[in-house]
A = this chain, B = another copy of it.
Amino acid sequence: MIRPQYELLDTGESLHDVHEDMSLSASRFAAFADMTASEIAALMGIVDRPRDYPANATIRNEGDAANQLYFLRAGWVISSIILSDGTRQVLKVHFPGDIMGAPSLPLAASAENLRTVTRATVCIVSKAAISQIFSTMPRLAMLFFLAAQEERLLLMDRLSSIGRQSGLSRLAGFLVHVHDRLRIAGISVDTSFELPLSQELIGDVIGLSTVHTNRVFKELTTRGLIERRGRTISFPDIDAVRKLSGLPERVIDRNAPWLPPPSP
């Protein structure tokens, strides 16, 4: 619970570089529909200059003014809540391309802590910019809406996992989930990936104590379901791990006919 000191570092990169990376975000929306050039351009227009944060830095705390959103360009960031007894629950692990801070959109004070895990690059997105999108690009607004519903699905799945399954299944589900997201983001290509999260943090994600998280890690390893080399996790048989997680698969209905017509 110690909050380290840090300085904001300006990357000195041009907006052009940001825009190149904005395709990351477009690819998240592109999960729902093929994006038009004007929609990609509109997304490019809402981010400001990128800022770098070191590892373990606070971007925004619970209770801080929630007057903006963030676009994560690079690095890993976690969203968490601290309960009144001081325990922490990690709500989401953010990957490059994610928009962060959206749940606090209806609130004046932020509901969540946003904290970097690794070095990270973040752009600010104003609330007014989102409004601008809603006013001018109905289909893109709908894609924002669909992304919010997808986030609900993720929370629903994690709620089911934590509420009704053993620690072993929870960890299995989390590891497979991270792997899948990294593949979608193009960061991982095979059935292995690097996991820069401490076991304490993973415990805060899946609702287990640090010690028990370690025990469950050991159990997964002993059973041959995962292999660990340093912070690299690999799956000898990912389908077995997926099955152990107990979670259903979700298939997105891309380019659904009921979507608003694309902007020119």
Contact status of A156 and B81, CB under 8 A, knowing A134-B145, A138-B135, A142-B131: yes
Interface-located stretch among A6-14, A15-23, A103-111, A226-234 = A103-111
Please, how many angstroms separate the alpha-carbon atoms of A159 and B84 in the complex? 15
Confirm or deny: A2 has a beta carbon within 8 angstroms of a beta carbon on chain B: no
For the complex, is A62 an interface residue (Cβ under 8 Å from B)?
Answer: yes
> Which residues of B have CB within 8 Å of A155?
152, 155-156, 159
- List the number of copies, as a whole number: 2
A46 located at the interface, meaning its Cβ lies under 8 Å from any Cβ of chain B in the complex: no
CA distance A196 to B84 in the complex (A): 30
Which chain B residue shows the least CB distance to A159?
A: B159
Chain B residues lying within 8 Å of A150, measured Cβ to Cβ, are 106
In the docked arrangement, what's the CA distance between A81 and B159, Å?
Answer: 10
CB of A163 within 8 Å of the partner chain:
yes
- Asked if A91 CB lies within 8 Å of chain B CBs, one says yes
Partner of A131, one of B91, B102, B126, B260: B260
Can you give 17 A-B contacts (C-beta < 8 A)? A81-B156, A83-B160, A87-B164, A105-B145, A105-B149, A106-B146, A106-B150, A109-B251, A111-B248, A134-B141, A134-B145, A134-B260, A141-B142, A141-B145, A145-B145, A151-B152, A162-B163
